[in-house]
Amino acid sequence: MQNSEQKLSTSQPLDSLIGGKWISNAKKIDVTNPVDGSTLANVSTASIDDCLAAVDAAENAFASWKATAPRARAEILRKSFEIMIAEQESLARLITRENGKVLSDARAEVAYAAEFFRWFSEEAVRIDGDYRRAPSGANWLMVSRQPVGVALLATPWNFPAAMATRKIGPALAAGCTVVLKPAGETPLTALAIAEIMQRAGVPDGVVNVVVPSPSGPAVSAMLQSNKIRKLSFTGSTQVGALLLAQAAEKIINCTMELGGNAPFIVFEDADIVAAIDGAMLAKMRNGGAACTAANRFFVHEKIYDEFADGLTARMNALVLGDGLDAKTTVGPLVSKSQQQQVAKLVEQAKSFGAKVACGGNASTDGSFGYFPTVLTDVSFDAPILQTEIFGPVAPLVRFKDTDDILAHANNVEHGLVSYVYTRDLGRGMRIAESL
């Protein structure tokens, strides 16, 4: 792969934002370009003290932000939306450069991300309460909704813009202040959004962004602070479980969006062309790096070969390359470790008897790419069916009996979403109820 751009914008922040100030440190972390493994940027590493200072800044800003008129909060969010849309192309190119996804997906993400700011700008002025007579009739009951306080937000690398705005937007609309910790692989997008919010007029300390060492205990340290009142985390189930346990010690309210392992079931009466179209969307959106991605394809034996051949042809036609190149339809994975994880799952599946219909190998040009892959005759025992792939790999399993395949589809810790293709509406509804 050839890297089609070399330099970041001179206005791109490379430091953590704490209390309205960009805090630079001598220690840096490298942000890697997935196209060629080169260093895209050196971002200042926030120390534990920096992270705790960000919590303090958010706490100090909370009282005034809570008292800010809902309309004023709404206008800042609306202005942030407008700037993001005006700068959609530059933000999209930034996402592609640090994440690897194709530019069309990055543009869609910016639009999707900006929409959270617009939506919650409109919700900020609609925070209601309740007023009613007590059941006894002796008095009246009044309920008002209050912001909880400082919210700690941790976001993943697969949607670095959308996951940030989806957390920041509702928090600010409610009157909370935030400390955002983006994924270490993709901090640049979060820092760019913070700078946009500064231009939109967000007061100092209301939005703080810290970029600690990826392997450090920053989130755990911040959770020990008595000033954190809310944790919102999107990421792996393993990390989420650890953070839930730590948050429980302080009785911190948590919202978790963790992993998925979605089944994609195609019955013998399905429209095969529609099913293949749906499979391409469900599998290849964001290069397969989405918690809603189809991970396990269960196809009825009567149409298995036709579906497998059709899906293989479509996957074979995809072009792996630099996401900024207009000819590219699949970008590289975000990191070398993610590339190795996908390769490991494919090799394990092969050891369990799976056959490679297309792909099945990583790129050898120095990028973190993995070729779009279809695996056939995958064993129910293969680890790939129990693991979130987060890559462009479609494992196909043949089935005959509906009850049997439902048992297999449900035989996972976390499903999150399911896809079913059948022309029989009644069966579709029954399957949906059973998954």
Q: How far apart are CA 396 and CA 376, in angstroms?
A: 5
Residue from 176, 291, 358, 388 carrying the catalytic annotation: 291
Residue 82 bears catalytic tag: no
Specify the pairing of strand 228-234 against strand 294-300: unpaired
Q: How far apart are CA 358 and CA 361, in angstroms?
A: 9
CA distances from 212 to 5, 8, 32, 235, 419 (A): 27, 21, 16, 17, 38
Specify the pairing of strand 21-23 against strand 16-18: antiparallel
Residue 51 bears catalytic tag: no
- Cβ burial of 262 (10 Å; 0-12, 13-18, 19+) is buried
Residue from 87, 115, 257, 268 carrying the catalytic annotation: 257
DSSP state string for 183-226 = -TT-HHHHHHHHHHHHHTTPPTTTEEE--B-TTS-HHHHHHTST
- Cβ burial of 12 (10 Å; 0-12, 13-18, 19+) is middle
- Cβ burial of 142 (10 Å; 0-12, 13-18, 19+) is exposed
Q: Would you please indicate which residues are annotated as catalytic (active-site) residues?
A: 257, 291
